[in-house]
Amino acid sequence: MSLLTIYFTPLAGIFALVFVWVLARWVLKQDPGTPRMQEVAGFIQQGANAFLRREFRAIAYFIVGLAALLLAVFWPQWQIAFGFVCGALASMLAITIGMNVATRANVRTTQAARTLPGKALTIAFRGGATMGLTIVAFNLLGISFLAILFGVRPDNPENVSMLVGFGFGASLASLFAQLGGGIYTKGADVGADLVGKVEVGIPEDDPRNAAVIADLVGDNVGDCAGRGADLFESGSDNLVATMIMGLAFMNPMPEYGFAGYGFAAVLFPLLTRSIGAIGAVLGVLAVRGTGKRDPIASLNLGFFTTGIFSVIAFFALSKWVMHDMRLFWCLTLGLAAALVSALIVQYYTGSNAKPVQEIAKAATSGPGINIISGMAYGFESAVLPKVFIAMVNVAAYMIMGGGLPGFFGIAAATLGITEMKGIIMAGDAFGPIADNAGGIAEMSGVGEEVGTSADVLDAAGNITKAITKGYSMSCALMTSVVILFTYITEISRHMGMPLTEVVYHARFVLVDPVNITGIMIGSTIPFLFSAQTLHAVGRTAYKVVDEVRRQFREIPGLLEGKVPADYTRCVDIATRDALKGMIWPTVWGVVFPLAMGFVFGAWALAAFLIGVKIIGATLAMFMFNSGGAWDNAKKFVEDGHLGGKGSDAHRSSVIGDTVGDPLKDAAGPSLHILIKLQNILSITMLPLFLEHGLHLFQ
Amino acid sequence: MSLLTIYFTPLAGIFALVFVWVLARWVLKQDPGTPRMQEVAGFIQQGANAFLRREFRAIAYFIVGLAALLLAVFWPQWQIAFGFVCGALASMLAITIGMNVATRANVRTTQAARTLPGKALTIAFRGGATMGLTIVAFNLLGISFLAILFGVRPDNPENVSMLVGFGFGASLASLFAQLGGGIYTKGADVGADLVGKVEVGIPEDDPRNAAVIADLVGDNVGDCAGRGADLFESGSDNLVATMIMGLAFMNPMPEYGFAGYGFAAVLFPLLTRSIGAIGAVLGVLAVRGTGKRDPIASLNLGFFTTGIFSVIAFFALSKWVMHDMRLFWCLTLGLAAALVSALIVQYYTGSNAKPVQEIAKAATSGPGINIISGMAYGFESAVLPKVFIAMVNVAAYMIMGGGLPGFFGIAAATLGITEMKGIIMAGDAFGPIADNAGGIAEMSGVGEEVGTSADVLDAAGNITKAITKGYSMSCALMTSVVILFTYITEISRHMGMPLTEVVYHARFVLVDPVNITGIMIGSTIPFLFSAQTLHAVGRTAYKVVDEVRRQFREIPGLLEGKVPADYTRCVDIATRDALKGMIWPTVWGVVFPLAMGFVFGAWALAAFLIGVKIIGATLAMFMFNSGGAWDNAKKFVEDGHLGGKGSDAHRSSVIGDTVGDPLKDAAGPSLHILIKLQNILSITMLPLFLEHGLHLFQ
């Protein structure tokens, strides 16, 4: 059984990858439209690829440096450094593939929207699905390849803990990619909007705006590649952490009446993810635009197909592989949690619910009250999802009867929620493609022909984007609880202490002043990190604003549309500033946990990680939802409510949107990655802290 | 010695109260100015007193209801319910006295500014000092009166734990007062500014603005009474919690080489606060405006006088009463922490440092970037103070040699920082008096005569306000750590378990999923609470805006200044909405910890409280400092930089200020109280949870 399954998981990965190839071929076969459309799309492709190239070059220094450090620390063990490099490369390769399909699907979506509106949805969705499936496939392939290479077998399961290197590498590369992409896209977007919409009063994506190409490139490098990186790393960290944690559940624990899962405990995460990969392929096949149906109904069909397949497969997995039906309930609970958290986000950011409408109404009293109202709803929106996730945690713990086996229940629920990753990501990457498609139509003068069909797609894209964010925050929160427990199991392994003794160790109590210090310091990290990201966006936007203003001032005939704007200058500014802006937050993100572990020890570091996670998750939800709500409040006004475009309410709501943009697309998503990066980094470096730390308090 | 000291503390309280009477008499003897000035001041007094009356009536229902509940729960023990009522009454009485002196000092400050500029500082400062000293005096008198009444004696120290009722009552009344006052002042302020400054373009405090009296009333009921309530409750909670905790340090702990302080451990907090009361009186006497010196230099003289007296008295206290010089170092460390946290806040909110100037510069690119920049600095500003406080905690813990005695070291450091309360509060209440003085000058047409001397006072008031906020956040953070430990000592007392066993209890570990759930839920509370407060401010401001717009539209001749505005309508709107807005946040604040303790048990409740405190403190710092920085960035522009008044940068910076106002003066300060209310409530209700809780996880 076990030997069979370790070869089954790469097969599921290869199956998904083959399907990616089929999808990509299908997308490329579609009509790319007029020469002008292809020219605009070419600008976007060039800008996006140039950015990725320069970004990867910057990341390479860190990868090489840290790989050397890991090699030195763990010498003669080469596997962690090797896994680290593999994780980083896999992350970069996955987002490169995904983004390159996306930058080709955009113009084809525009063309379909002109000629066959029903097909536009299918193209955009399948373009996005390549990103979703590539990520799941690379997660599975990378980790099972390393597991086989490191000789992880039923008689030698311990080597699975060497996989942390892969998780660390994936996290680091992804944090860079999300930060760089996020700063780029929001610097360009805010800059373009501030001069274009607010000062000069020209529409979005107007070719006279010098920052418009940079803005469209940003959709790809930020929303598409950045989010892809985010999901790649959370997928890897989740798999790696749960596999390592599985080591503790191979053998029976008589004191809890727990029978032990054998080697299946280690393979369990890979199996659930394989189910997710196959489910995502089925889901993608189920989505087909007909031109008559609401796009969201089509997308929902895809989600449901994946969901139903997953529940059936979970049943089989729990009954015949794990021989523990309690796991089925935990997995299904996690799946349900994905649904509920998506619904809550839809309430707080959807145009048809109270929050967005109230925020829009507040805009009639000016930008100040609009922003206060959005902040208030943003704060509020963090409450329910988090209380709900907390309850799911306790429920999964209780389903397994509490105690140590309860931790495995929480891990199973986490695998249940993260299992939907492939199909959710497909829906998400659809958003920037639809966004780009609209921009290309505007830029190449076919906006009229495309008409409302692009708007319909864009609105659907906004909903899927909001769903993904709520979903990935819930995943991150659940995952970080599991990673914490993995951290404990690793302490037990490295120190040779029984697990119970580690869990109930005196230095681990809540009220220990050293731990309180750890929580306090940890809780400041997301603030420091967000501050630096926002500073970077603000600085970039400031320079873009300056440049766009300069071009309007110095290029005669630009405002009248007689002379083209110089797009490359803005692309350059955004690229340079984004790369500069991504360095320091990452460095702090790495240095702080290292210093904590080294100075205050492994126990206080666990407290620190709890502080980071608790504040990070709440802050990120606030950022996502207030940002999304401001955005949709603006759209609500633009749709003709409360005075419509050009009214005072509109001007106020544009300012709210500008404030929300860097929160929801730069600082917020990077926080996810930061949380998990610090956890996986701590697990990786644990032997160092235990052996060479200062041990001031032990 | 011990019997002597329990009668010494009420004496220090009476001494402070006599001095309050002298100060108040001195203020009332000053010249109240022209009949028009007295009329305006009369409006403000009436509005403020009417608000307090209606607020107290609303609070009374809750006080009576909760007192009945406490009586029923603890029957036949009447002391907790009685203490609860005393705490609430003492809080309301203290802020009534303080505010009534402040609403008389304002007009006298205006008059002095017209005639004897040097004296204006002295009047404003002494007016504010009555608030600061009344609070310290009532803290000392209320608690020592109850301690004597409950028979707390060296041979019967345990009754000191009945004092929790006083802390709970003080917290509840104060939360209402701060919330109600905060919503009132910011609803009126934002509403007045939005129509006045932004839409109509008339100056601040212009008599044509219908909301201007409501705004001036708000300074008193929010900034003055509200902040007073905040400091009253943190003073009470800190004293009560540290006294109860003292019970655990009366006897020796041989395993830590700790000799035990005897009954002095219980009296220690009262003694340090008495030192603070006397120190504050000396400090107030040292502040004297000469008309030549910079007001801040005068105020600093007051702070230093108190500080130096305190250090000397701490030395005497540690050497001859406590017989443990380590306490001297802990106390002094706390005192130094007060200074450092004030300095950090000055950097982030002062006009002469980088953050405020950068935020102002960002305003030249529009309100969006101005707000992003302010948020970024606000996030950043929470980092250093919190890391610093965390370090102070560990240092105090280490000074006492770690282990259980280390907790007493943290308590001593906390007493050291809170000891400066009286003099700091005197400086803070000075702010709204100076603010009001400027408003009265404007309203009664003597603005020209007062000239720059009011501006100088106003600027000094802004600095002291920022200092107080940074200071009180540090106090709240330190205090909440101490209260948590008191909670543990109470569990040990109620369950009859040795303290060490409670501290290192298995259910108290960080990684227990039930505790993680507690932290997660706790961490959402400050968000829920802030959301509701901001909603209330937004709603109030929205109505005030509507009313001011209506008056400009419907009253002919108002804009030309020929007809007076109808001020009472705006006062009414603000009063009604503020009272409505303060109910729900408080109810949630009380219900959540009760539900947690009842359903999840006493251990998970401790985790919940850590979540509340950690997020609450960080969020509050963000709110204070971003709000303060936006305010000062606006002032920086108004002082003629970056285009000065009327420029685009000015309009943008006014919007930033509007956003920051409810954060820094309504939501932020209420968070302080919430943190401590929930802690003291949990201690009060502990017997209920231990005996009648659901015990699902134990």
Structure tokens at B242: 């540290």
A564 upstream amide cis, omega within 30 of 0: no
Q: Please, are residues A527 and A615 in contact by the beta-carbon 8 Å criterion?
A: yes
Predicted confidence band of residue A4 (pLDDT cuts 50, 70, 90): low
Tens digit of each residue's pLDDT (9 = 90 or more) over B392-422: 999 999 999 988 999 999 999 999 998 888 8
Q: CA B454, CA A687: separation in Å to the nearest integer?
A: 63
Q: Is the pLDDT of residue B302 over 90?
A: no
Query: CB A70: neighbour CB atoms within 10 A?
Result: 24
pLDDT of A698: 55
Range A483-503 burial, b when 16+ CB lie within 10 A, else e: bbbbbbbbbbbbeeeebeebb
Query: Do B534 and A406 make contact, defined as CB atoms within 8 angstroms?
Result: no
Q: Please, are residues B307 and B432 in contact by the beta-carbon 8 Å criterion?
A: no
Q: What is the DSSP string of A147-158?
A: HHHTT-BTTBGG
User: Percent of chain A at pLDDT above 90?
Assistant: 56
Tens digit of each residue's pLDDT (9 = 90 or more) over A360-404: 999 988 888 899 999 999 999 999 999 999 999 999 999 999 889
Q: Is the pLDDT of residue B3 over 60?
A: no
Cα A417 from chain centre: 14
Helix H segments across B496-566? 499-503, 513-554
Whole-Å CA distances, A611 to A514, B76, B607? 13, 42, 12
Enumerate the residues of chain A whose CB falls inside 8 A of the CB of residue B379.
Answer: 527-528, 530-531, 534
Give the three-state DSSP class for B175.
helix
Tens digit of each residue's pLDDT (9 = 90 or more) over A36-53: 999 999 999 999 999 999
Angle between helix A79-115 and A421-443 (nearest 10): 50
Helix H segments across A496-566? 499-503, 513-554
Work out the minimum CA distance from A120 to partner chain B, whole angstroms. 34
Query: Do A513 and B393 make contact, defined as CB atoms within 8 angstroms?
Result: yes
Burial-class residue A38 by CB neighbours within 10 Å (0-12, 13-18, 19+): middle
Q: Please, are residues B374 and B647 in contact by the beta-carbon 8 Å criterion?
A: no
Q: CA A245, CA A411: separation in Å to the nearest integer?
A: 9
Tens digit of each residue's pLDDT (9 = 90 or more) over B113-134: 888 877 888 898 899 899 989 9
Q: Kindly identify which residue of chain B lies nearest to residue A477, measuring between CA atoms.
A: B520
Q: CA A266, CA A144: separation in Å to the nearest integer?
A: 12
Q: CA B87, CA B89: separation in Å to the nearest integer?
A: 6
Q: Please, are residues A571 and A47 in contact by the beta-carbon 8 Å criterion?
A: yes
Q: Is the dihedral angle over the CA atoms B153, B158, B159, B165 positive or is it negative?
A: positive
Tens digit of each residue's pLDDT (9 = 90 or more) over A109-162: 999 988 887 788 889 889 989 998 999 999 999 999 999 999 888 888 999 999
pLDDT of A445: 85
Structure tokens at B503: 């501290």
Query: CB B300: neighbour CB atoms within 10 A?
Result: 14
Structure tokens at B62: 């809750």
Q: Please, are residues B240 and B680 in contact by the beta-carbon 8 Å criterion?
A: yes
Q: Kindly identify which residue of chain B lies nearest to residue A371, measuring between CA atoms.
A: B659
Burial-class residue B504 by CB neighbours within 10 Å (0-12, 13-18, 19+): middle
Enumerate the residues of chain A whose CB falls inside 8 A of the CB of residue B368.
Answer: 190, 194, 655, 658-659
Q: Please, are residues A341 and A470 in contact by the beta-carbon 8 Å criterion?
A: yes
Give the three-state DSSP class for B476.
helix
Q: Give which of B492, B698, B419 is closest to A511, Cα–Cα.
A: B492
Q: Give which of A654, A662, A659, A663 is closest to A622, Cα–Cα.
A: A663
- Rounded to an integer, the average pLDDT of A221-236 is 87
Q: Is the pLDDT of residue B615 over 70?
A: yes
Q: Please, are residues B30 and B147 in contact by the beta-carbon 8 Å criterion?
A: no
- The per-residue pLDDT of chain A, averaged, comes to 89
Residue A504 φ/ψ region, left for φ over 0, alpha for ψ in the -120 to 50 degree band, beta for the rest: alpha
Tens digit of each residue's pLDDT (9 = 90 or more) over A582-614: 999 999 999 999 999 999 999 999 999 999 998
Query: Do A614 and B523 make contact, defined as CB atoms within 8 angstroms?
Result: yes
Give the three-state DSSP class for B150.
coil
B76 upstream amide cis, omega within 30 of 0: yes
Which neighbouring-strand residues pair with A462? none
Amino acid at position B231, single letter: L
Dihedral in degrees, nearest 10, Cα atoms B584, B586, B590, B595: 30
For residue A510, give the nearest of B375, B541, B607 by CB distance: B607
Enumerate the residues of chain B whose CB falls inside 8 A of the CB of residue A532.
Answer: 376, 380
Work out the minimum CA distance from B293 to partner chain A, whole angstroms. 38
Structure tokens at A592: 């702080």
Angle between helix B648-662 and B513-554 (nearest 10): 130
Helix H segments across A150-204? 164-193
pLDDT of B289: 65
**DSSP assignment, residue A159?**
G
Whole-Å CA distances, A698 to A244, A489, B698? 26, 19, 29
Helix H segments across B445-512? 447-450, 452-495, 499-503
Q: CA B338, CA B340: separation in Å to the nearest integer?
A: 6
Q: What is the DSSP string of B206-253?
A: -TT-TTHHHHHHHIIIIIIHHHHHHHHHHHHHHHHHHHHHHGGGSS-B
Query: Do A380 and B527 make contact, defined as CB atoms within 8 angstroms?
Result: yes
Give the three-state DSSP class for A644.
coil
Work out the minimum CA distance from A611 to partner chain B, whole angstroms. 8
Query: A253: Cβ–Cβ under 8 A, 6 or more apart, which residues?
Result: A260, A403, A404, A405
Amino acid at position A560, single letter: E
- Rounded to an integer, the average pLDDT of B73-83 is 92
Enumerate the residues of chain A whose CB falls inside 8 A of the CB of residue B369.
Answer: 190, 194, 538, 541-542, 545, 658
Q: Give which of B63, B54, B31 is closest to B217, Cα–Cα.
A: B54
Q: Please, are residues A580 and A536 in contact by the beta-carbon 8 Å criterion?
A: yes
Predicted confidence band of residue A2 (pLDDT cuts 50, 70, 90): low
Predicted confidence band of residue B4 (pLDDT cuts 50, 70, 90): low
Q: Kindly identify which residue of chain B lies nearest to residue A387, measuring between CA atoms.
A: B521
**DSSP assignment, residue B203?**
P
Query: Do A393 and B528 make contact, defined as CB atoms within 8 angstroms?
Result: no
Q: CA A605, CA B13: separation in Å to the nearest integer?
A: 45
Query: CB B346: neighbour CB atoms within 10 A?
Result: 16
Give the three-state DSSP class for A203.
coil
For residue B365, give the nearest of A362, A394, A545 by CB distance: A545
Query: A291: Cβ–Cβ under 8 A, 6 or more apart, which residues?
Result: A116, A117, A118, A119
pLDDT of B532: 94
Enumerate the residues of chain B whose CB falls inside 8 A of the CB of residue A386.
Answer: 520-521, 523-524
Q: CA B207, CA B217: separation in Å to the nearest integer?
A: 14
Q: Kindly identify which residue of chain B lies nearest to residue A378, measuring between CA atoms.
A: B531
Query: Do A615 and B614 make contact, defined as CB atoms within 8 angstroms?
Result: yes
Q: What is the DSSP string of A73-103?
A: HHTT--HHHHHHHHHHHHHHHHHHHHHHHHH
In this structure, chain B runs to a length of 698
**DSSP assignment, residue A537?**
H
Q: CA B334, CA A77: separation in Å to the nearest integer?
A: 48
Enumerate the residues of chain B whose CB falls inside 8 A of the CB of residue A659.
Answer: 368, 371-372, 375
Query: Do B397 and A524 make contact, defined as CB atoms within 8 angstroms?
Result: no
Work out the minimum CA distance from B240 to partner chain A, whole angstroms. 19
Query: Do B386 and A659 make contact, defined as CB atoms within 8 angstroms?
Result: no
Query: A108: Cβ–Cβ under 8 A, 6 or more apart, which residues?
Result: A27, A30, A31, A32, A33, A123, A127
User: Percent of chain B at pLDDT above 90?
Assistant: 56
- Rounded to an integer, the average pLDDT of A251-275 is 92
Q: Is the pLDDT of residue B341 over 90?
A: no
Q: CA B359, CA B355: separation in Å to the nearest integer?
A: 6
Which neighbouring-strand residues pair with B153? B156
Give the three-state DSSP class for A201.
coil
Work out the minimum CA distance from A210 to partner chain B, whole angstroms. 16
